[in-house]
Amino acid sequence: MNEDLPLASGSPTLEDVARVAGVSRATVSRVINGIRNVDPAIQETVRQAISTTGYVPNQAARSLVTRRTGAIALVVSGAGGESEEHPFPGQVFADPFFGRVAGGIVGFLRPRGIHPILMFAETPEARAQVITYLRQGNADGAVLVSTHAEDPLPRLLAGSGLPAVLFARPAKPIPISYVDVAHRAGAKLAADHLVARGCRRVATVSGPLDVPASQDRLAGFRDAMAAHGHPYIPCVEGNFTHDSGEAAMERLLAEHPDVDGVFVANDLMAQGALLVLRHHGRRVPDDIAVVGFDDSSAALACRPPLTTVRHPVEDMAAEMARLLLTHIEQPGHQVTSVIFEPTLVVRQSA
C-alpha cells in the first residue's frame, strides 16, 4: 500500500483510494459494495486505504449509474385551494398524526440507508412539482398521505407509473397500492365497549363524510349498534379538528340531551367534546361515556384520559415503506393493499 502518494485536492475519489491501495478502481468498488470474490488480504488493504484517505462515496456518481437515489418522497397532500389562505404550507402538520407517520417511515427506511424527502402538495402547482421531481429521479418513489377525498394526486401518481403507496384507501378506486386500518372493525370495538358498559342512548361524532375512513367508521359503528338492538344512532359530522369536535358535541347535547355514550371518530375531536361535556357539567364516564379513535398523543392529554381505538399508524407507515420498496425493486409488482387490525385501549373516559 502506497502510504504517501499525493491526493488530488478536494475530497478523495475511488481513484485516490485505488492508487493508495495499489489496486484498481474496480476492486475498491467491489469491496465497498460488499461484492465477494475479493481476496481477503486485498480487502483489508483497501479498507486501510479508505480510512487513511477518508474516502466517502459520491452518491450522485453512484446514482447516475445505478439509477437509484436512496431517497423517497414523503408527500402530504390536500385537495387544493389552500394556497391563498396560508403563507406557509404544511399547517396540517400540526396534527400529531403526521409525526407518527414520519416516525414509522423513518424507522423502517433508515436501517436500509434510505431517507424521506418531505413534500407538501396542497396546490395544483405543488402537485405538478411532485411529479416532475420524481421524474427527474430525485427520489425513487413516493408515499402519500392524503387529507382530502378529492385530492387528485393519487390518480396522477398512479397514471405516472412511478412507484407509489398511499396511506388509506382512495375515495374512488385507483390502481395503486395502499395500507389502511379496518375502520369498521375499530368502530365495532367502540360500539361493543359502550354497550358492554351499559350505555343505552348512544350517539356518534363522525369525521368528514366524503372520506372513506369517516364513512367506514360511521357505518361500522351503526352496524354494530344495530346488531346490539340499537337501530337508530344519531350522528353529527365533524372534520377531525379539535374545534369541530366541540361544535359537534355542543349540537349533539342540544339535540339529544339524554345521551349517555358517544363514539367520536378521532381523538382530537374527542378532546374537544370532553371539554364541552365538562363545561355542561356532565361527568365522564359516569353521566356519559366517550370513546375516541387513533390513540394519538391527544388521548393522553384528555381529562379523563381517553378510551380509544388504537390506530397502528407507525406500523402502517412502516408497511407502506416496505411496500414501496418492493415496488421500486420489482417494477412490475402487482398493486397491493394491506389492512391492519385496530385494538381498543381502555382508559377512563369509557
Residues near DNA, by CB under 7 A: 10-11, 13-15, 22-27, 29-30, 32-33, 36-39, 41-42, 55, 57-58, 61-62, 64-66
Half-sphere exposure of 121 (CA within 13 A, CB side): 31
For residues 265 and 218, the answer to whether their CB atoms sit within 8 Å is yes
Helix axes 14-21, 25-32, angle to 10 degrees: 110
Should residue 60 be labelled a site residue for a copy of itself when binding is judged by CB under 8 A?
A: yes
Judged by CB under 8 A, the stretch of 39-47, 198-206, 223-231, 275-283 that binds a copy of itself is 275-283
Residue among 184, 185, 180, 239 nearest 209 (CA): 239
For residues 273 and 249, the answer to whether their CB atoms sit within 8 Å is yes
Of these, 5, 56, 128, 226, which contacts a copy of itself (CB under 8 A)? 56
Positions 234 through 273 that interact with a copy of itself (CB under 8 A) = 242-243, 271-272
Residue 137 or 159: the one with the smaller Cβ distance to a copy of itself is: 137
Residue 15 or 341: the one with the smaller Cβ distance to DNA is: 15
Beta-bridge mates of residue 72: 116
**Integer Cα distance of 258 and 168 in angstroms:** 35
In sequence order, what DSSP letters do the residues of 186-211 get, joined into one string? HHHHHHHHHHHTT--SEEEEE--TTS
For residues 268 and 296, the answer to whether their CB atoms sit within 8 Å is yes
Grid cell for residue 24: 484498481
Residue 63 or 160: the one with the smaller Cβ distance to DNA is: 63
Residue 222 or 311: the one with the smaller Cβ distance to a copy of itself is: 311
Judged by CB under 8 A, the stretch of 39-47, 115-123, 184-192, 252-260 that binds a copy of itself is 115-123
Should residue 135 be labelled a site residue for a copy of itself when binding is judged by CB under 8 A?
A: yes
Residue 199 or 317: the one with the smaller Cβ distance to a copy of itself is: 317
292 touches, from DNA, a copy of itself, none (C-beta below 5 to 8 Å by class): none
71 touches, from a copy of itself, DNA, none (C-beta below 5 to 8 Å by class): a copy of itself
Should residue 304 be labelled a site residue for a copy of itself when binding is judged by CB under 8 A?
A: no
77 touches, from a copy of itself, DNA, none (C-beta below 5 to 8 Å by class): none
Residues that bind a copy of itself (CB under 8 A): 11, 56-61, 63-64, 69-71, 74, 87-96, 98-100, 102-104, 106-107, 110, 115-120, 126, 129, 132-133, 135-138, 242-243, 271-272, 275, 278-279, 296-297, 300-301, 303, 314, 318
